A and B are shown apart, each in its own frame.
Chain A
Amino acid sequence: MAGLKIDWLADANQPNSNVDWPAWMQAKKESALETLSHLPGPHRKLELWRYSDASRLQKSELSVTEKTDQELPDAADAVVITLSDAGIDLGESLPSWLTIQPIQELPENQWLDMDLSGALAKELVVQSLNQGLFTHGVVVNVTADAPKDATVVLRYQVNEPNQWTYLRNAINLAADAEVIIDEQFISGRINVVNHYHVADNARLTRHQLNVLESGQQHVSLQHFTLAEKSFVQSQNRHESGDLQHHIHWVDFTAENAEYRSGSVNKAGDNSHIADIVVVNHAFKNNVSDVTHRSLADDSAQIFNNAKAVVAKGADGSEIIQDLKNILLSKDAKIASKPELEVYADEVVAAHGSTIGTLDDEILFFLRSRGIGLAQAKAILMVSFEQEAIIC
């Protein structure tokens, strides 16, 4: 791929092109595009793209199957924010514990630059493109007054099926705040970047529901910063589609915080799914616990990567990486990679990865009770997924 800027700008969906960007933000966008225009596109020599066919990102037209009605979690008591071609829909009036602004009203001091230099920039080039091309998004601020089970739903519902739509959101939890954020992919070809800032003692429960139709594509970067004694639990479900590439990037910015994530990845047909979690333990006494359960069928491919980097002096860090995978056909492929990079002296770390098939003995047990093979397999898959259901 030649210049990213030229190829990708041409394909970008620009539904919000008349936005009056603040000068500093406009400068950030232009600077990002200028830098990215000199970078190569993603390719198989990059670690994060080794097991995904990056050339699919450039398909001019996706062959999306007819949309079936997706069963969404009950959002009756939640604040629903829909990001679509039409912009942002906030629904009814907002509760007092919540403020929502368009992304162009983000205070400059809250902007998080993506690192566009060095080897990492090449790995994150697709997600980084968002910095130059995002057209809309929201800043969500949750105060400490949020009631128990306060829920905000972010829905990505774009009608344009082929051109990439770039969305960028900032979700800020004040000190002692507690909230549930549900991210739901509904439609579109979406590249989204979310920055979650979780302040001292705040607690975030997050659900990412990405069940794609055959032929759809979705790329995301979820960036979390965890302040002192904060807690994040993130539940991710990535199913089907032509291509899904998700990066969860976690930075501890103080001590005694905890990040837990559970991912269920299910790919069939010729689907490619990458689920990458990078946790930077830069401070002492933080905990990260990452569990992935993945199932690949037909000629699908899944890449699981849980990486923890423990900086020098970040003693007392605790890390768990538990990646288990099941291949359901002889042509399916799964690459599973737990990674520890530890520079501190006192660290508790456990990591493991397995790839196997459905347990024959349990299948036989279920069949011996009268349950047919297909249903027995489905039960076993549900059972397998349960270990990654954390919230």
Chain B
Amino acid sequence: MLEIKDIYAKAGDKEILKNLNLSVKPGEVHAIMGPNGSGKSTMGNLLAGMPHVTATSGSVTYQGKDLLQMEPEDRAAEGVFLAFQYPVEIPGVNNMYFLRTAYNAQRKHRGEENLDSASFLRMVKEKIKQLHMSDDLLKRPVNVGFSGGEKKRNEVFQMAVLEPNLAIMDETDSGLDIDALRVVADGVNQLRSPDRSFVIITHYQRLLDYIEPDFVHVLVDGQIVKSGTKKLALELEEQGYGWLED
């Protein structure tokens, strides 16, 4: 699914990722943990195609294609999804319109017909019900006046509608109370499938109580310094990152 090989990358002028390597197979869930400033979000942004994050060397192959050569919208249409750490607000543009535009843009990229309004509405209402979210969300402008928890839930809802192959979740658990965390985790778990992979970026082990990862990686100073199972996350919870930074 995803092969990150010897990646060095800059955010602006600052080199953040230094010899990053990661391999993700279909259906796997990988948790990326690490201290502040270690490059976790930069990794997510690089994969999604944020313009000011640029690879200086190395390669990223996604489903056999050179991901770094693709525009952000093409990556999305090919099935890459980034759940933002800080979801943006778009006043005056309601969620329904935004989502339908995104959904049909991706279909167009794949050479498929647009989904008409009625069919789209039926589909999103079904999705929102499955995720136990209020359909009030659809009528509101994108993230405007949303609480932190609602914004993160909206990211998961977008993911459910767009059905990506590779979902990168950038600290989706940050700022969530236990109930909201459970809703978000339930949403992710519902979307797990043998064809869909997740890269879950998080600071805390608690999210991994709800979303069971196949692998846990520790990112320090732009590279993965240790990989393991969920047990590694529990060790990090107890001992912190200090023992890996030396």
Q: Which residues of A contact B (CB under 8 A)?
A: 359-362, 364-373, 375-376, 379-380, 382-387, 389
Contacts and interface: CB of A to CB of B under 8 A. Distances in A.
Contacts of B158: 369
B82 interface: yes
A370 B90 contact: no
B51 A364 contact: yes
A348 B82 CA distance: 45
A387 B144 CA distance: 13
Contact of B92 (A361, A375, A385): A385
Residue picked from A359, A370, A379, A387, most chain B C-beta under 10 Å? A370
A387 B71 CA distance: 30
A368 B82 contact: yes
A370 B109 contact: yes
A132 B103 CA distance: 58
Contact of A383 (B75, B76, B93, B109): B93
Nearest to B101: A371
A370 B76 contact: yes
Nearest to A360: B51
A375 B109 CA distance: 14
A362 B141 CA distance: 14
A370 B106 contact: yes
B178 interface: no
Given A360-B51, A371-B105, A365 B84 contact: yes
13 contacts: A364-B51, A368-B72, A368-B75, A370-B77, A370-B105, A371-B73, A379-B93, A379-B98, A379-B101, A380-B90, A382-B92, A384-B92, A389-B92
B46 to A, nearest CB: 12
Contacts of B93: 379, 382-383, 386
A367 B92 contact: no
Given A360-B51, A364-B50, A369 B91 contact: no
B181 interface: no
B222 interface: no
| A-B interface, 8 closest residue pairs, ranked by CB to CB distance from nearest | A386-B92, A370-B76, A369-B102, A367-B72, A370-B106, A370-B105, A383-B92, A367-B73
Contacts of B77: 370
B88 interface: yes
Contacts of B73: 367-373, 376
Interface in B86-144: 87-88, 90-93, 98, 101-103, 105-106, 109
Contacts of A389: 92
Nearest to A389: B92
A38 B204 CA distance: 78
Q: Which of A362, A365, A380 has the most CB of B within 10 A?
A: A365
Contacts of B81: 368-369
Contacts of B84: 365, 368
Contact of B102 (A371, A380, A382, A386): A371
Contacts of A375: 101, 105
Contacts of B71: 367, 373
Contacts of B72: 364, 367-368
A360 B73 CA distance: 14
